[in-house]
Amino acid sequence: MKKTKIKTSFVCQECGYDTTSWLGKCPECGSWNSLREFKTQSSNRKTQNSGAVLNNVKPQRLSEVKYETKSRIQTGFSEFDNVIGGGIVKGSVSLIAGDPGVGKSTLLLQLALNLAIADKKILYVSGEESSEQIKMRAVRIASGKKNPRANNQEPNLLLLSQTNTDEIVIQIEETKPDLVIIDSIQTIESENVSGLAGSVGQVRYSALQFVRIAKQNNIPVIIVGHVTKEGMVAGPMVLSHMVDTVLFFEGEKFSRTKILRSLKNRFGPVDEVGIFQMVESGIEEATNLEQLFLTGETNVPGSVLVATLEGSRVFMVEIQGLIVSSGLPVPRHVVSGIDPRRVELLLAVLQKHAGLSLSSMDVFVNVAGGIKLSDPGIDLAVCLAIFSSLKNIALTKVVGISEVGLLGELRSVVGLEKRVKEAQKLGFKKIITAKTNKTISEVIRELGK
């Protein structure tokens, strides 16, 4: 009988640094109290999981490596395909995360149904729901589809309610599907690793097994991941390093609009976004993207439009500002959809260079439509929305597209011509950019007349 040896190590949950002893501060990334105990069992017996040595894999010349130029799988969602670079690459491992209830499972189940209709064999593994519960969602989704094959009787979609990592791997090897969906990695565990499901050791082991099975059998795998209360992907950072693609599905809980972003992609761009809408029967691709985030006429004080660039797309977005006198010793600054630190910086610029008295005011800034923006080109629109609300002046049909520097200057942004053309196409003529060669104080003085 082979003796089993318990190996104890400590792994940083932020960067994946591995050490044999506990440390208060990770020497790799500098995070405090981020090392967690990780126990593994090892034996002298060689198993099939021991890797490439048992498979007798030898190095190949680059010129000898063969691949298919059309090896991507089209999902039936053009928005999803654009985000990941044109379709799912065979043998790839993707991680999709998002807030609870945002629609991750619904999106992937619809994706599975689309591929099953296209005669692809799909294995949908769920550790959170039973097969009956998954079918209930499939029936609801199918009720809104016009395709006669989009029903709950689709034979190419295989459901597996399982939480054992090793059993899932066996089923993948036996069924050999065209795509595997794991929902979610925080709910599955293996007896070969100590710890509860969702622990550092279990997540690392499960991810390693799915990466191995995907690469060896050329089967793409999509893994669902949870998020922390800070909105980051839950689990050790090494999880994001192991997979090929990291996607984030976001959207306000009570908003119909959902956005799919790519945070990492070895086979495509990382700046594209996919726009979806939640409907009664599931999730649909959004239409009329140009005006998706507009609420109507911007003829009230505190509302300014901006043409923001997400990937290769331009969207017209409404920035709303509300300035009221504060009765508190420290005025409130509440921001939604934009980095609050960026708004604080713009408030300082407006006070210093535009002469606006904001030190005793409560400031509220919001991006209408529930979208989150990190584009520096929205700076001018934020400043104009604050000015408009403070002075109670309606900036009708005004579009501001520029970054604002600390010295009050307007700076050009990426894709300016493309943004201007989109604004003009929708009928906006008053477009303020850095090409006007004006400072923020000059722009505000001109609009205040």
Q: What is the pLDDT of residues 335-358, one digit of tens each?
A: 999 999 999 999 999 999 999 999
- Distance in angstroms (rounded) separating the CA atoms of residues 204 and 223: 13
DSSP 135-151: HHHHHHHHTT--STT-S
Question: Among residues 400, 377, 418, which one has the least CA distance to residue 305?
Answer: 400
Please report the domains of the chain, with CATH numbers, ordered by start residue.
1-45 (no CATH), 73-285 (3.40.50.300), 291-447 (3.30.230.10)
Q: What percent of the chain has pLDDT over 90?
A: 51
Taking each helix axis from N to C end, the angle separating 131-142 and 104-117, rounded to the nearest 10 degrees, works out to: 70
List pLDDT tens digits, range 93-109. Answer: 999 998 888 889 999 99
Q: Please name which of 32, 35, 39 lies closest in space to residue 22, comparing C-alpha atoms.
A: 35
Rounded Cα–Cα distance for residues 269 and 272 (Å):
6
CA distance 421 to 426: 9
293 or 56: which leads in pLDDT: 293
Strands 333-336 and 361-367: parallel
Residue 320 pLDDT > 80 = yes
Confidence of residue 17 (pLDDT cuts 50, 70, 90): confident
Give the up-direction half-sphere exposure of residue 104: CA atoms within 13 A in the CB hemisphere.
24
Q: Nearest 5°: phi and psi at 335?
A: -130, 140
Reported in sequence order, the residue ranges of 254-337 that DSSP labels E, i.e. its strands, are: 257-265, 273-279, 282-285, 303-310, 313-325, 333-336
Cβ of 214: how many Cβ atoms within 10 Å? 22
Q: Find out whether 293 and 317 touch, Cβ atoms under 8 Å.
A: yes
- The mean per-residue pLDDT over the stretch 204-225 comes to 93
- Per-residue model confidence as pLDDT tens digits over 434-449: 998 899 999 999 988 7
- Structure confidence by residue, pLDDT tens digits, 376-400: 999 999 999 999 999 999 998 899 9
**Omega before 184 within 30 of 0, i.e. cis:** yes
Given this model, what pLDDT does residue 1 score? 45
Residue 66 makes CB contacts below 8 A (sequence gap 6+) with none
* pLDDT beyond 70 at 148: no
- What is the mean pLDDT of the segment spanning 234-263? 84
325 pLDDT higher than 60 = yes
**Least confidently predicted of 13-27, 142-156, 267-281, 403-417:** 142-156
Which position has the token pair 């799988």? 73
Given this model, what pLDDT does residue 400 score? 94
